[in-house]
Amino acid sequence: MANRSEKVEFYVTPDKKQEIVQAADEAETTVSTWCASRIDEILHNDALEAKSQEHQAEQRLQELIARATDEIEAAAEDLRETQIKSGVYSIATWELVKQDIGEVQRQDALSDAASRVRDTDALDIDIEVTESTAASQSTAGTESTTESATTAAADSDGESTADDGKWWNQ
């Protein structure tokens, strides 16, 4: 124990004082030394308890971080799977649409879809024109012209309506 030079006074009941004196006698030390050692022991235990609580809090934070990480990873995997499914459906739909719709109408549809989703400049959509696509374009262009003429002739007001190239409105 370090050199004690400061005095601390406190009051206790007569019965408590007798217990302290008896405990000091059993420890074969003075009342002052016994009280100082008990106070040191209490302060040391309090410090250990504080460290233990701090460590438990850190462990709990690590558990929460691990749990949150697992949940985020699971959500990201679910999102990835959803994006893959969406991509598969989009590609399948596009392949089906390519068979029946001409190049100009596909370009119009893509442009319209892009503007509905977000700014068209941000998407940078480019359709590859292959021989089969070019052939279907010329066939679809002829059909579209014939269909537009039929639609214009069938207008009940007698006024001609131009084909706006939106195949889903026809």
In a domain, 129, yes or no: yes
Same domain for 90 and 111, yes or no, is no
| pLDDT over 90 at 44, yes or no | yes
In a domain, 167, yes or no: no
Same domain for 95 and 141, yes or no, is no
pLDDT score for 143 = 44
CB 1 within 8 A of CB 36: yes
Same domain for 58 and 95, yes or no, is yes
Count structural domains, the chain: 2
Kindly report, residue by residue over 95-137, the tens digit of the pLDDT: 877 787 888 887 887 787 777 776 545 545 554 544 444 444 4
Cβ-in-10-Å burial (0-12, 13-18, 19+) of 102 comes to buried
In a domain, 62, yes or no: yes
CA-nearest of 108, 119, 99 to 170 is: 108
pLDDT score for 124 = 55
In a domain, 160, yes or no: no
Same domain for 108 and 139, yes or no, is yes
pLDDT score for 26 = 94
Amino acid at 156: S
Half-sphere exposure of 110 (CA within 13 A, CB side): 19
Same domain for 87 and 76, yes or no, is yes
Same domain for 80 and 141, yes or no, is no
Same domain for 92 and 128, yes or no, is no
| Residue with tokens 């579209």, as numbered in its chain | 144
Same domain for 61 and 21, yes or no, is yes
Query: Dihedral angle at the C-alpha atoms of 7, 11, 13, 19, nearest 10 degrees?
Result: -20
pLDDT score for 135 = 46
Same domain for 117 and 131, yes or no, is yes
pLDDT score for 2 = 67
| Residue with tokens 């124990």, as numbered in its chain | 1
Kindly report, residue by residue over 51-95, the tens digit of the pLDDT: 999 999 999 999 999 999 999 999 999 999 999 888 888 888 888
Same domain for 91 and 41, yes or no, is yes
> Does 164 or 36 have the greater pLDDT score?
36
The domain of 56 spans 13-100
7 vs 36: CA distance, rounded Å: 11
Same domain for 30 and 76, yes or no, is yes
Query: Dihedral angle at the C-alpha atoms of 87, 89, 95, 99, nearest 10 degrees?
Result: -150
Q: Calculate mean pLDDT across residues 32-54.
A: 93
